[in-house]
Amino acid sequence: MITLRTLDNGFTYLDIRNDHACAKIALQGAHIFHYQRHDESPLLWLSDASILQPGTAIRGGIPICWPWFGMPDDPALPQHGFARVLPWDYEIVTDHNDVTVIVFRLQPSTQTKTFWPYRFELSLQITVNDQLGLKLTTANTDVEIMTISSALHTYFAITDIHSVKVLGLEGKPYWDALSDTNHIQAGGIMFSAETDRVYQHVDNTIKLLDPKRTISIDNNGSSSVVVWNPWIEKSTRMSAMMPDSYLSMLCIETANAREDSITLSPGQSHTLGTRIH
Ligand code: BG6
């Protein structure tokens, strides 16, 4: 069952419930900010300090970073692109007891052209059942070649940052954004300080081991993965975060970032996808 809900301030979202799970997806940014299997705690982290209001980025869930990931060369442009705060259209593809599929679309407009000059078609298919699936497809409908970087910027809800471990990135090269240095990952990742890394050449399942569950992440159309936790000091100064927010969240982001950016000729398209289970 899918219900369209609007808060008093005009913030609109789809409230989804089927036999396996419930989910909430904002029309702004096609941003899923809640997904929970009926027998489990929420899979996605949402900051207690995040205010759901039109035009404000949501801190948590899965922001769509597009058509660039991170800070663009022009500091006047927004970090992580513009798609995460603009309103998207949607179409309900499947609304069955066991599975819900919705496709969101963002079209070029005078507003998008102020940020980025290209014509494009962007769609996000979200599948909700006992797994959560996202497929972000970019089509170049322009006459020029375009290069995009992007991410499905997933905030996972965790028991405690000190007790989780990420497996599947062992032996992979990564760029450390904090020190602007390159490394090779030795062993599983555990956390004891701010972490902000872009891993490359990733072609396998990633596992997030939490004391209460193991989450598997299968990506496609992507060979880069971002692992991010702001730790104490950055949590304190970031928007829509509490000083202790870093304890209960970990971002493992399905990306096309840095050397895994995608160049599309006119008429070409690319899909970045993830399946979380
Ligand atoms: C991560 C970046 O993907 O997003 C971090 O690696 C950044 O450097 C974080 O701080 C949050 O970004 P934002 O724009 O949502 O505050």
pLDDT in tens, 40-58: 999 999 999 999 999 999 9
Distances (CA, A) of 124 to 83, 152, 174, 226, 242: 11, 10, 27, 20, 30
pLDDT in tens, 247-271: 999 999 999 999 999 999 999 999 9
Q: Is the pTM of this model over 0.95?
A: yes
Q: What is the mean pLDDT of residues 7-16?
A: 98
Structure tokens at 124: 């996000």
Q: CA quadruple 237, 239, 244, 248: dihedral positive or negative?
A: negative
Model confidence at 61, pLDDT cuts 50, 70, 90, reads very high
Q: How far is the CA of 70 from the centre of ligand 1 (A)?
A: 7
Cα Dmax for the chain: 51
Residue 33 φ then ψ, to 5°: -120, 5
Residue 181 φ then ψ, to 5°: -130, 160
274 membership: H or E segment, kind and range: strand 269-276
Alpha carbon nearest to ligand 1 atom 13, residue: 79
> Which of 18-22, 29-33, 75-79 is predicted least confidently?
75-79
Average of per-residue pLDDT values in the chain = 97
Q: Output the pLDDT for position 239.
A: 95
CA distance 207 to 226: 14
Model confidence at 130, pLDDT cuts 50, 70, 90, reads very high
pLDDT in tens, 163-211: 999 999 999 999 999 999 999 999 999 999 999 999 999 999 999 999 9
Q: Output the pLDDT for position 22.
A: 98
CA distance 119 to 139: 9
Which residue from 33, 85, 251 has its CB within 8 A of the most atoms of ligand 1, so it is best to mutate?
251
Q: Output the pLDDT for position 194.
A: 98
Q: Is 115 helix (H, G, I), strand (E, B) or coil?
A: helix
Catalytic site positions = 153, 253
Residue 112 φ then ψ, to 5°: -65, -30
